[in-house]
């Protein structure tokens, strides 16, 4: 949208108060009544409830007549964010005797004449979900009619942002103590790990295939096995058993889950010769079993470790919340020439939960399966319960999957990755990422056999292990008194009770010298 083409003029209405006429190119439209704009407020009297929704986001402001009912309890809101496509409309509002309160209140933030992307960035820094009771989004009909495409895009950005922030907050509340506990325990294991930074640049100009564990992986297993010696295969941990069962030997396995059941993916043979990249907050059982490459993330304690080590460890954290997103980040940082992705569905493709051979499907196919309870039945019941009937693109999915999908799209877009494609269209698409048949991908990009063993041995030979004792000692000196309190508060977002705080303090005191 060309914001410079949007102009407006103020006219006096039939009843006296000003109204606003907006022109966008050849289109012209009043945003309020030419006769009685003040009357617009009548249909908005019951639209403001700061006791339940203390953050109000308004899409389309004009001169603000529809917001007049908010004047009486404006101080009950924690935030009111007004978004308007018209640059500089704040001046016209300030001169309006009826609605000037909107720009005079410290509770109000006015965002005008900004692109949808810029609006999203501003909102990301403005909303603190930990302090919010609820968020209400109010649309101005006339503005929506005039600039529907713009406000619809902004609305989608707001929904995506709210879901992400709410998801981050829920994750912190649910897993905050676990993340912190894992990191503290892993500090004692760092001496067996290698910085993930040792991998950066080592796969320069080689093709890579990322294998996730979605059901669409089943259709690509055979083809992937045929050309596995002509590309590097990066597997998410949950896909490892399925690949192994299909005769595929991955070169790198990534694991980031903090929960103990992630160990299930490494049973019955484990990763074999593959390099394992784990997060600083991965469950210690995996790190104890497999001495791998350590990646830092955005956790406050992880950032402290990054500062103590001068950034020498490195990170593949994509901030997408998904291990597949981190796999994309790894491919980017290792220098892969082209990236194909399979098994990244963001939905329950083909009425299956995961690919055959994964630990999740094995529970149904081996452990629970009998004549009366079939694999298909287990899958259908799980899908209907887990999705709650929610669909996207005709496929059952979950809102959390949509959050991961949006964050992955944002990561790919913000990093301007062009050498990436989905290897099948059986899952939900990723915006801006083309679909290429896996056979065609191999034909175009994987023509020569790679001496992968030599490449990986070169990485291993050049790597140096992390000095875990030095890090633990430095942390012990830092985390005393108030600094420890601040770390726990930042890690848990104030969500932990006194008992949890006490347990974490004791754990840190015993495990860090």
Instruction: Please tell me the predicted confidence (pLDDT) of residue 261.
Output: 78
The CATH architecture annotation of domain 188-462 reads Alpha-Beta Complex (3.90)
Distance separating alpha carbons of residues 322 and 401, to the nearest angstrom: 10
- What are 490's two structure tokens? 């930042």
What pLDDT shows up at residue 283?
Answer: 87
| Cβ 196 vs Cβ 315: under 8 Å | yes
pLDDT digits (tens, 9 = 90+) for 205-221: 999 999 999 999 999 99
pLDDT digits (tens, 9 = 90+) for 21-64: 999 888 899 999 999 999 998 888 888 988 888 899 999 999 99
Q: Hey, where are the domains in the chain?
A: 3-165, 188-462, 479-513
Helix, strand, coil % over all residues of the chain, rounded to 5: 50, 15, 35
Mean pLDDT of the chain: 85
The whole-model pTM stands at 0.70
Each residue's pLDDT tens digit, 104-121:
999 999 999 998 888 888
With CA atoms as reference, report the closest residue to 181 among 467, 447, 496: 496
Alpha carbon 261 to its chain centroid, in Å, reads: 22
Residue with tokens 């295969």: 233
Spatial distance between the Cα atoms of 100 and 94, rounded to a whole number of angstroms: 4
Q: What is the CATH number of domain 3-165?
A: 3.40.50
pLDDT at site 458: 85
Identify the CA nearest to 305 among candidates 200, 464, 195.
Answer: 195
Q: Which two tokens stand for residue 17?
A: 């108060």
With a cut of 50, list the residues of the chain below it in pLDDT: 366-369
**Cα four-point dihedral sign 435, 343, 291, 178:** positive
SS3 329: helix
Residues in the chain: 513
**What integer pLDDT is reported at residue 367 of this predicted model?**
45
């Amino acid at each position: 949208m060309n914001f410079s083409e949007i102009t407006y003029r103020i006219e006096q209405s039939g009843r006296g108060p000003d109204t606003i006429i907006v022109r966008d190119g050849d289109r012209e439209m009043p945003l309020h009544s030419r006769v009685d704009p003040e009357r617009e407020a009548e249909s908005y009297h019951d639209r403001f409830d700061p006791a339940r929704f203390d953050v109000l986001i308004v899409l389309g402001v004009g001169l603000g007549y529809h917001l007049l009912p908010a004047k009486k309890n404006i101080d009950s809101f924690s935030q009111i964010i007004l978004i308007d496509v018209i640059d500089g409309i704040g001046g016209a509002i300030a001169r309006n005797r009826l609605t000037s309160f909107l720009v005079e209140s410290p509770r109000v933030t006015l965002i005008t004449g900004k692109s949808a992307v810029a609006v999203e960035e501003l909102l990301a820094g403005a909303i603190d979900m930990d302090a919010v009771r609820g968020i209400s989004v109010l649309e101005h009909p006339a503005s929506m009619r005039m600039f529907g495409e713009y406000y619809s895009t902004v609305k989608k950005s707001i929904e995506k942002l709210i879901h992400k922030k709410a998801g981050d907050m829920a994750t912190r509340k649910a897993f905050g103590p676990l993340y912190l506990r894992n990191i503290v325990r892993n500090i004692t294991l760092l001496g067996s790990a290698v910085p993930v930074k040792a991998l950066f640049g080592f796969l320069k100009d080689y093709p890579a295939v990322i294998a996730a564990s979605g059901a669409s992986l089943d259709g690509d297993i055979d083809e992937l096995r045929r050309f596995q010696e002509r590309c590097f295969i990066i597997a998410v941990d949950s896909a490892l058993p399925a690949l192994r069962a299909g005769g595929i030997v991955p070169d790198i396995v990534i694991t980031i889950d903090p929960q103990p059941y992630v160990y299930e993916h490494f049973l019955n043979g484990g990763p074999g010769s593959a390099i394992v990249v784990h997060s600083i907050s991965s469950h210690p059982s995996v790190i104890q079993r497999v001495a791998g490459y350590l990646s830092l993330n955005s956790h406050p304690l992880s950032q402290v470790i990054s500062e103590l080590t001068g950034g020498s460890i490195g990170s593949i954290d994509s901030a997408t919340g998904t291990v597949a997103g981190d796999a994309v980040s790894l491919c980017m940082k290792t220098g892969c020439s082209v990236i194909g992705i399979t098994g990244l569905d963001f939905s329950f493709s083909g009425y299956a939960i995961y690919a055959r051979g994964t630990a999740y499907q094995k529970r149904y196919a081996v452990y629970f399966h009998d004549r009366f309870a079939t694999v298909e039945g287990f899958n259908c019941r799980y899908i209907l319960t887990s999705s709650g009937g929610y669909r996207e693109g005709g496929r059952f999915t979950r809102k959390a999957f949509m959050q991961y999908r949006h964050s992955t799209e944002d990561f790919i877009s913000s990093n301007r990755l062009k050498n990436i494609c989905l290897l099948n269209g059986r899952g939900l698409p990723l915006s801006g990422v083309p679909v290429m048949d896996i056979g065609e991908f191999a034909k175009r990009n994987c023509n020569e056999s790679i001496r992968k063993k030599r490449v990986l041995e070169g990485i291993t030979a050049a790597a140096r292990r992390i000095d875990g004792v030095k890090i633990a000692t430095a942390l012990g000196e830092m985390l005393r008194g108030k600094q420890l309190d601040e770390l726990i508060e930042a890690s848990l977002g104030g969500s932990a009770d006194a008992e949890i705080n006490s347990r974490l303090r004791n754990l840190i005191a015993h495990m860090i010298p």
